Amino acid sequence: MNVPAMRAIYKFEMARTGRTLMQSIISPVISTSLYFVVFGAAIGARIQQVEGISYGAFIVPGLIMLSLLTQSISNASFGIYFPRFTGTIYELLSAPVSYLEIVVSYVGAAATKSMILGIIILATAGLFVPLKIAHPVWMIVFLVLTAVTFSLFGFIIGIWADGFEKLQLVPLLIVTPLTFLGGSFYSIDMLPPFWQTVTLFNPVVYLISGFRWSFYEIADVNVAVSLGMTALFLTVFLAIVAWIFTTGYRLKA
C-alpha cells in the first residue's frame, strides 16, 4: 500500500476545498438554509407535525441527505475529471500507485468533504429547530455509507463525462429530482396507495428513510432494508469502478 501517494492525492483534493470555499461549503449551506426557511415557513405553517415530529425538524434529515448526495457526486466527479481534462491522469496511471489506491484517495477526499458539509448543515439546522438524534452511531453509519457510495458514483460520472456540462447532468436531472420525490419533505405514508408503491422504486427513499430513523426512530421502510439497499448500491458502484480500471474505459488514450 503506497501510503505517501494516497496521502498526497488526498491532501491535494482536500486543499482544493480551501481554494473554492464559497462553492464547496458556503454556497451549499446557504442553499440548504433557504430550503429550510422556505419549506419550513410555507409548508410548516400548514403541516404542524409529521408522525409526531414538528415539520421543521422532520425535514432536516432530508435536507442533509440532499446536500450529501449532490456534493458527494460533484466533488468526486470533478476531482477525477479534471486530471483527465488536463492530461495529468496518465502520469498518475503510470506512477507506482495501484487502482485501489487511486480510488480510495479520490473517493475518500470527496466523501470527507461531503460529510463535513453534512455536519455543518446539521449544526446550522440546530439553530432553527430543536433536534434529537436517537441513534448517533447509526446516524454516522448512514452518513459515511451514503457519502462513500455516492462519491463512488461521482467517480464513475467523472470517468464517463467527456465535458464539464455532463458533470452536472446526472446530479441536476436525476439525483436532485429523485431526492425531492424520495420523502425529503414529506412521509410517503401521506401519499395515495398507488403513489406509495411507485415511490418505493425510487432508490433515494431508502437512504432518506434510514437516515431519518437514526434521528427520530420513524421510517418509511424497514431500517434493515434501508441498510441493505445502501450496501447494494455500494457493491454495484464498486463493481463498475473495478470494471472501468480493468478495461481502461475512457482512461486509455
Residue 53 β-bridge partners: 50
Low-confidence ranges of the chain (pLDDT < 70): 20-24, 40-45, 253
Going by C-alpha positions, the residue among 16, 237, 9, 14 that lies closest to residue 101 is: 9
Q: What is the pTM of this model?
A: 0.92
Q: How far apart are CA 73 and CA 24, in angstroms?
A: 12
Q: Helices 99-125 and 27-42 sit at what angle, rounded to 10 degrees? A: 40
- State residue 91's pLDDT score: 85
CA distance 90 to 105: 16
d(CA 210, CA 225): 9
Query: In this structure, are residues 199 and 205 in contact, taking their beta carbons and an 8 Å threshold?
Result: yes
**171: DSSP letter:** I
Res 126: pLDDT: 85
Q: Which three cell numbers stand for residue 157?
A: 460520472
pLDDT tens readout for residues 35-50: 777 776 666 667 778 8
Determine the angle formed by the axes of helices 204-216 and 136-160, rounding to 10 degrees.
160
Q: What is the pLDDT of residue 69?
A: 93
The pLDDT of residue 54 is 86
Determine the pLDDT at residue 129.
82
Report the alpha-carbon distance of residue 183 to residue 160 in Å, rounded.
29
Alpha-carbon gap, residue 217 to 202, rounded angstroms: 21
Asked if residue 217 lies in contact with residue 196, where contact means CB atoms within 8 angstroms, the answer is: no
CA 59, chain centre distance (Å): 16
Q: Give the span between the Cα atoms of 168 and 179, in whole angstroms.
A: 15
pLDDT at res. 92: 86
- Residue 1 pLDDT: 82
